[in-house]
Structure 1
Amino acid sequence: MWYDTLFQKLEQCEDKKQAEKMAAYMQNKFKFLGIPKPKLNEIAKQYLKESRKYDFDWEFVNICWSKTYREAQYIAINYLSMNSKKLTDKDLLKLKHLIVNKSWWETVDSLDAMVGCIVLKNKDLEKTMLEWSLSENIWLKRVAINFQQEYKEKTNIELFEKIICNNLGSDEFFINKAIGWSLRDYSKVNPKWVREFIENYKDQLSALSIKESSKYL
């Protein structure tokens, strides 16, 4: 396969001192090989280029996700991003599996754009996003809040409001931050609506959400 020697090459580049620093930055939630992003991208570049000759391969993504070191998940994200236009509604459950496994903000916030690409092509999946916004899993909630960030004028405002309202009153940092970020981004397109939303829900929005959402108003 086109990726046969990739993981061997990555593991040969292990830098334990750098790995400790990278793990500490991520609150020691994951093991790292200690490969900085520029070097990681350079190593992966030739393999990802070679991958274009073949059909999209979920097996490769799942192998990356099964690796104990975080750099493998970053390469999977790059591969998915490179192939995001090929993703269909049949891939949503597979993305969900990635979202809820080895979850942290840096992978989840990349996967939400891919979810957005799929939902934009299949409006029936908006119901799934509404379901995710009510999930007990905070990362599914975060994706539901953020998946429309690239939609701009195509944003389904009614759905956007319902999803945020489903998460008002949360004491979870990553949820309140996501609400603020999503409102802030949409304020670039429709500042009037965001101002009115903040005013209507100011007693239920967290201080963090209000601070983030008001940045460009």
Structure 2
Amino acid sequence: MWYLELFEKLEAEKDEQQSVKMSAYMKERFPFLGLPKPKLNEIMKPYIRQAAKSQDVDWNFIFLCWEKEYREAQYVGMEYIYSVQKKLTDHDLDKLKRLITTKSWWDITDGLDKVIGNLSLHYPSVNDEMLIWSCADNIWLRRVAIDYQQKMKDKTDTALLEKIILNNLGSNEFFINKAIGWSLREYSKVNSDWVKSFLEKQEGKLSRLSVKEASKYL
């Protein structure tokens, strides 16, 4: 139970004034201890480095991070996931899904989509699951499906990207339309012609926000 000491140290540093400010920035969705990023890193990094040396991924620790009320605990969980992501397999996808759909917001999902993107490079079955997520009732699963290829550059599966975006046309959800624009914008850095062609084909169907974001580097 090495992490109990970690949580005790985090909680001992609670700053009421910063807590209010940080919670307000996140639209009051989550309470915060009020730890700025440098202080959070100072406390958690030694524990994370040590824990990452274990052969197995400690999902009990990760889920405990998600059970904690304060948001910094989820940030600690994310840092741990980054440190062990090379040990993840396609069998961990359901667990990642649980994280995405629990205490959901962009600050966590936009980190996990990169983890899933890396996972998909080693396990093609992840791509099939992303196509399913792109039609999910949960908007955060859809957002991850739209954006998980963002960092793949020339390894981007454009046929799959197109299918996923088409599955989300007509949405009035800000976080979905923003994600569509971001995914296209990132890929435009690699293949601007493909993005231009896609925008032309879907003219009038994409939201203004998606087009604005997608066109930033064109």
Which range, TM-score by smaller chain? over 0.9
Partner of 1:60: 61
Contact 1:2 1:50 (C-alpha < 8 Å) held by counterparts: no
Q: How does 1:21-100 map to 2 (within 5 A)?
A: 21-54=21-54, 55-100=56-101
User: Which digits, 9 at most, give the CA deviation of each residue in 1:34-69, with x for residues without a partner?
Assistant: 101111011101111211332321111011010000
How many residues matched?
Answer: 217
CA shift for structure 1 position 124: 2.2
Point out the more displaced range, 42-51 or 66-75.
42-51
Report what 1:139 is aligned to. Answer: 140
- In 2, are the aligned partners of 1:14 and 1:35 still within 8 Å (CA)? yes
Q: Which runs of 5+ in 1 are unaligned?
A: none
Could you tell me how far apart the structure 2 residues matched to 1:215 and 1:170 are?
Answer: 21
CA distance in 2, matches of 1:53, 1:131: 34
Q: Name the TM-score, length of structure 2 as normaliser.
A: 0.97
CA displacement at 1:202 relative to structure 2: 1.6
Which residue identity lines up with residue 31 of structure 1 in the other structure? P
The aligned residue for residue 163 of structure 1 is: 164
How far is the alpha carbon of 1:2 from its aligned partner?
Answer: 3.0
TM-score, normalization: structure 1?
A: 0.98
Distance 2:116 2:105 in 1: 16
Distance 1:104 1:210 in 2: 23
Are 1:112 and 1:143, in contact at CA under 8 Å, matched by a contact in 2?
A: yes
Q: Residues 133 and 142 of structure 2 are in contact (CA less than 8 Å); yes or no, is this contact kept in structure 1?
A: yes
TM-aligned CA deviation for residue 117 of structure 1: 1.6
- 1:191-211: CA deviation from partner (whole Å, max 9, x where unpaired): 000000011102100000000
